[in-house]
């Protein structure tokens, strides 16, 4: 095989979470009472606008979760021999992902040190040798040397740089417009059928905001996304769009690689937290008595311990374990991934108490309702009552808490990595980028683009998640009443209607 699949621990959990989401979507489609809240979410313009960049982030994270080890090329004289094949194919030690292959042009363009966004020269002066006539050795001066990859296609950067950047931006926008128009027309044709009159009517309804699905908001968000992404792709062919860091790595590449870490922290921590919160919360509220006392004592004790200190102690214990068992982690990627998985576990154990309190209070209220008391009178077991009557009626709280906690967990990773108790330093994350930018902000001249890039990507991810979470909260909260809005039903055949 040209590659050897290497499913890391977090990769397996990501695949499991994806399977759970697909199964949950299939289950929701078969139950009307569950489908209606999600239809309310789908009819919210803000949620659907936020879903467009959120899907892009999820796609980046999924591509970065497909890891493998590429096969090494055969020895120079191996193919010339007529002997049988060797024992096996040799694979590289470095673990790569599908995203690494797609971004190889960014990862391979490494400069010597810092360079500003879209720069053609280095950020700091270096000693360069000026050649004399005929290629003879000349004198040495302090100047800004040309970059190895940034703007090398320009013969005279001082004269041609501005025009080249503006022309590339114009090309990117010019390419985004027809692509967006083609996607819009395909959408209208798919939603309205093949009749021309129906397509025209549906097109007018889309831009009037009268369709059941807020396609106008979705198309505007998609157009803005294409207007940003395509120019960046074209500029990255010849420039470092977001500059380079201290060792010359492209900051855009580091930012894209950090997306997976943020998504893993936000999703897998929830996967660890939910069993504790749901089980203990429902048990404490429904069973009461000594069970309630023990669970309350447990989460009160956990809340009394500073979370950062508990996480720091757990990470230090993990580091000692990894150093004493190096044979369990043959590659650096597996060692860093194990630390990330352990961090998700610790964050999940320390963050389930809030949701547990909410579910306990809701279970205390539900156990007094008539249908629960009727089930008790008929002799239904306590576990069956909790599973069939209590759990389905607290799922709206679980759903709201999950989507609302995602943003907090993403920001928590950045803070923990900044103080040095987060992910492994060799793993790309927004926290490690901010930690590396701490010293860069104090130098003169200031290197600001690493911090700015991490801030922009985190802002986009967290803002999209929060907008989507607000819509989910409004849809599942029984105290919120969503007003009716005009709905356009596409006419498939005007002749038949006549």
User: Can you give the pLDDT at residue 255?
Assistant: 93
Q: Indicate if the pLDDT at residue 493 is higher than 60.
A: no
* pLDDT, tens digit (0-9, with 9 covering 90-100), for 268-282: 888 888 888 999 999
More confident residue, 419 or 337: 337
Which helix (H) or strand (E) covers residue 18, if one does?
A: helix 9-29
Residue 266 has pLDDT above 90, yes or no: no
Residue 175 vs residue 288, higher pLDDT: 175
pLDDT (mean) for 109-125: 87
Structure confidence by residue, pLDDT tens digits, 29-41:
888 877 888 888 8
CB 396 within 8 A of CB 478: yes
What's the rounded mean pLDDT across residues 382-405? Answer: 83
CA distances from 118 to 152, 155, 252, 287 (A): 12, 16, 11, 63
- The pLDDT of 80-94, averaged and rounded, is 60
What confidence tier does 469 reach under pLDDT thresholds 50, 70, 90?
confident
CA separation for the pair 51, 46 (Å, rounded): 9
Q: How far apart are CA 66 and CA 426, in angstroms?
A: 18
Dihedral class, residue 209 (left if φ above 0, else alpha if ψ from -120 to 50, else beta): left
Residue 482 has pLDDT above 60, yes or no: no
Residue 436 has pLDDT above 90, yes or no: no
Q: What pLDDT score does 57 carry?
A: 94
Rounded to the nearest integer, the mean pLDDT of the chain is: 83
Statement: residue 84 has pLDDT above 60: no
CA angle 222, 225, 231 (to 5 degrees): 135
Please tell me whether the overall predicted TM-score, pTM, comes out greater than 0.75 for this model. Answer: yes
Q: What is the pLDDT of residue 485?
A: 46
């Amino acid at each position: 095989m040209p590659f050897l699949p290497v499913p890391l621990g977090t990769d397996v959990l990501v695949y499991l979470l994806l399977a759970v989401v697909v199964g949950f979507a299939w289950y929701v489609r078969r139950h009307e009472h569950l489908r209606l809240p999600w239809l309310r979410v789908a009819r919210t313009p803000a949620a659907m606008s936020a879903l467009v960049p959120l899907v892009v982030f999820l796609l980046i994270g999924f591509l970065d979760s497909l890891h493998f080890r590429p096969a090494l090329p055969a020895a120079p004289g191996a193919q010339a021999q007529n002997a049988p094949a060797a024992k096996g194919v040799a694979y590289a030690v470095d673990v790569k992902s599908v995203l690494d292959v797609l971004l190889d042009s960014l990862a391979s363009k490494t400069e010597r040190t810092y360079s500003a966004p879209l720069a053609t020269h280095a950020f700091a002066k270096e000693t360069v040798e000026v050649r004399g006539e005929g290629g003879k050795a000349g004198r040495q001066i302090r100047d800004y040397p040309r970059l190895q990859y940034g703007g090398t296609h320009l013969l005279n950067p001082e004269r041609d740089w501005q025009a080249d950047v503006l022309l590339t931006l114009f090309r990117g926008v010019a390419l985004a417009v027809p692509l967006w128009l083609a996607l819009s027309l395909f959408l209208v044709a798919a939603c309205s059928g093949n009749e021309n009159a129906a397509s025209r009517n549906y097109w007018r309804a889309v831009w009037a905001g009268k369709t059941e699905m807020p396609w106008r908001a979705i198309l505007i968000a998609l157009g803005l996304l294409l207007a940003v992404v395509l120019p960046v792709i074209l500029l990255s062919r010849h420039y470092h769009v977001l500059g380079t860091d201290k060792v010359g790595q492209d900051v855009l590449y580091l930012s894209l690689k950090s997306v997976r870490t943020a998504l893993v922290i936000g999703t897998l921590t929830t996967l660890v937290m939910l069993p504790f919160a749901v089980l203990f919360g429902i048990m404490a509220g429904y069973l009461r008595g000594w069970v309630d006392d023990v669970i309350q004592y447990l989460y009160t004790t956990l809340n009394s311990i500073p979370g950062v200190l508990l996480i720091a102690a757990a990470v230090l214990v993990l580091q000692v374990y990894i150093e004493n068992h190096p044979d369990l982690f043959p590659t650096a990627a597996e060692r860093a991934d194990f630390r990330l998985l352990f961090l998700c576990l610790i964050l999940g154990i320390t963050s389930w108490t809030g949701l547990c309190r909410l579910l306990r209070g809701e279970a205390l209220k539900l156990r007094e309702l008539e249908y629960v008391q009727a089930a008790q009178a008929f002799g239904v077991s306590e576990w069956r009552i909790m599973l069939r009557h209590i759990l389905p009626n607290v799922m709206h709280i679980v759903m709201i808490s999950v989507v609302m906690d995602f943003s907090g967990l993403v920001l928590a990773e950045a803070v923990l990595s900044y103080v040095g108790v987060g992910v492994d330093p060799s793993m790309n994350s927004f926290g490690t980028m901010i930690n590396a930018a701490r010293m860069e902000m104090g130098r003169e001249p200031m290197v600001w683009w690493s911090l700015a890039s991490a801030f922009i990507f985190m802002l986009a991810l967290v803002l999209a998640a929060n907008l989507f979470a607000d819509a989910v909260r409004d849809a599942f909260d029984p105290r919120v009443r969503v007003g009716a809005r005009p709905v356009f039903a596409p006419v498939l055949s005007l002749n038949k209607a006549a």
